[in-house]
Amino acid sequence: MIPEMEQNNKRLIETLIRGRDSTTRLQDLLCRKENLNGSVSVEDLLAEILGSFSSGISMLNSSVSSENHGFLVEKMPEVYSGKKPAVKERRGCYKRRRTIDTSVITSATIEDGFAWRKYGQKEILNSKSPRCYFRCTHKYVHGCKAQKQVQKLEDGSNMYHITYLGKHTCPSITHHEVVLNFQDFKNTYHVSNSPSTITNAHIDPSVKQEVDSKGQSTDVSDIISSANDENTSPPLRWDEILGSCHEGASYMRFDHEDSCASTSSHGYMYMDYLNNDDLLSDGIGLLDQNVFLD
DNA sequence: ACTATTTGACCACC
DNA sequence: GGTGGTCAAATAGT
Q: How far apart are alpha carbons A278 and A119 in whole angstroms?
A: 18
Neighbours of A269 (CB within 10 A): 21
- What is the rounded (10 degree) CA torsion for A114, A115, A118, A122? 0
Angle value at C-alpha A6, between A5 and A9, nearest 5 degrees: 90
CA of A7 to C1' of B10 (A): 48
Q: Please tell me whether any atom of strand C lies within 7 Å of the Cβ of A140.
A: no
Q: How far apart are alpha carbons A280 and A171 in whole angstroms?
A: 29
End-to-end CA distance of chain A: 27
Q: Please tell me whether any atom of strand C lies within 7 Å of the Cβ of A149.
A: yes
Taking alpha carbons only, the member of A146, A115, A147, A112 closest to residue A131 is A147
H or E segment at A133? strand A131-136
Nucleic chain B contacts, Cβ below 7 Å: A 79, 89-96, 98, 117-122, 137, 282-287, 289-290
User: In the prediction, which pLDDT does A25 show?
Assistant: 65
User: In the prediction, which pLDDT does A114 show?
Assistant: 82
Q: Please tell me whether any atom of strand C lies within 7 Å of the Cβ of A86.
A: no
Q: Please tell me whether any atom of strand C lies within 7 Å of the Cβ of A92.
A: yes
Q: Strand C within 7 Å of which CB atoms in A 120-139?
A: 120, 122-126, 131, 133, 135
Contact criterion met (CB below 8 Å) for A147 and A90: no
Neighbours of A120 (CB within 10 A): 11
CA of A207 to C1' of C8 (A): 35
User: In the prediction, which pLDDT does A256 show?
Assistant: 33
pLDDT tens, per residue, chain A with 294 residues: 545 556 666 666 666 766 666 666 666 666 555 444 444 455 555 656 666 666 566 556 555 444 333 333 333 333 333 333 333 344 444 555 444 577 888 888 888 778 888 999 999 888 888 999 998 888 777 778 788 899 988 777 778 888 888 877 776 443 333 333 333 333 333 222 222 222 222 333 322 322 233 333 332 222 222 223 333 333 333 333 333 333 322 222 333 333 323 333 332 333 323 333 333 333 333 333 333 333
Kindly tell me the burial class for residue A92, based on how many C-beta atoms sit within 10 Å of its own C-beta (0-12, 13-18, 19 or more): exposed
Q: Which residue is nearest to nucleotide C12 (CA to C1')?
A: A286
Query: Which domains are assigned to chain A?
Result: 88-172 (2.20.25.80)
Smallest CA–C1' separation from A286, nucleotide: B5
